């Protein structure tokens, strides 16, 4: 049985992961509206990843005898000035998620919950990748400035990103 304080913290994290999915879906819609389909694709894949992050926490809570308490999700921002502003916000958002995961890990350590620490280690590693991906794209956008042709090259690159549910689930199960 999972401790109530850990259950509450994980339910809060599920909400944060679902908000992340909602935010990235909003960003995808923004990019679709500007005919930047590669950027939109990247955000849609990111949305799917965030949904899987929430589902992994959801499944974990159930497996430990906890109760999942889904809470309202705040509405995300819907307009931005540029792709680099979106990726600046994406990077900052991922840093906030990392901070939240770190606090959850600190709580699991404090409570002596080794099983939760084990699952959180996957998230700690995942957040390193999430921040690196967002900051990498942001740096490319900063290098291009307002060069439209460079934005279209990045758009083409981002169009190649795919979400492989089976591979993701296998990685997440580890």
pLDDT in tens, 19-57: 999 999 999 999 999 999 999 999 999 999 999 999 999
**What pTM was computed for the model?**
0.92
Architecture of domain 4-68+79-173: Up-down Bundle (1.20)
Q: How far, in Å, CA of 18 to CA of 24, rounded?
A: 10
86, 30 Cβ separation under 8 angstroms: yes
Residues in contact with 82: Cβ distance below 8 Å, sequence separation at least 6, in sequence order: none
What is the Cβ-side half-sphere exposure of residue 60, based on CA atoms within 13 angstroms? 26
124, 105 Cβ separation under 8 angstroms: yes
Instruction: Report domain extents, the chain.
Output: 4-68+79-173
């Amino acid at each position: 049985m999972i401790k109530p304080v850990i259950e509450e913290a994980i339910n809060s994290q599920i909400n944060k992961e679902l908000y992340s999915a909602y935010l990235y879906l909003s960003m995808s819609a923004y990019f679709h509206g500007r005919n930047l389909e590669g950027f939109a694709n990247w955000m849609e894949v990111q949305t799917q990843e965030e949904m899987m992050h929430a589902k992994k926490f959801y499944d974990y809570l159930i497996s430990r005898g906890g109760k999942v308490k889904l809470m309202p999700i705040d509405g995300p921002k819907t307009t931005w000035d540029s792709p680099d502003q979106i990726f600046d916000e994406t990077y900052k958002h991922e840093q906030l998620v990392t901070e939240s995961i770190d606090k959850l890990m600190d709580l699991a350590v404090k409570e002596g919950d080794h099983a939760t620490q084990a699952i959180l280690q996957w998230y700690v590693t995942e957040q390193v990748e999430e921040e690196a991906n967002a900051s990498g794209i942001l740096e490319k956008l900063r290098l291009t400035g307002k060069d439209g042709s460079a934005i279209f090259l990045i758009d083409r690159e981002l169009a190649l990103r795919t979400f492989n549910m089976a591979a993701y689930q296998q990685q997440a199960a580890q």
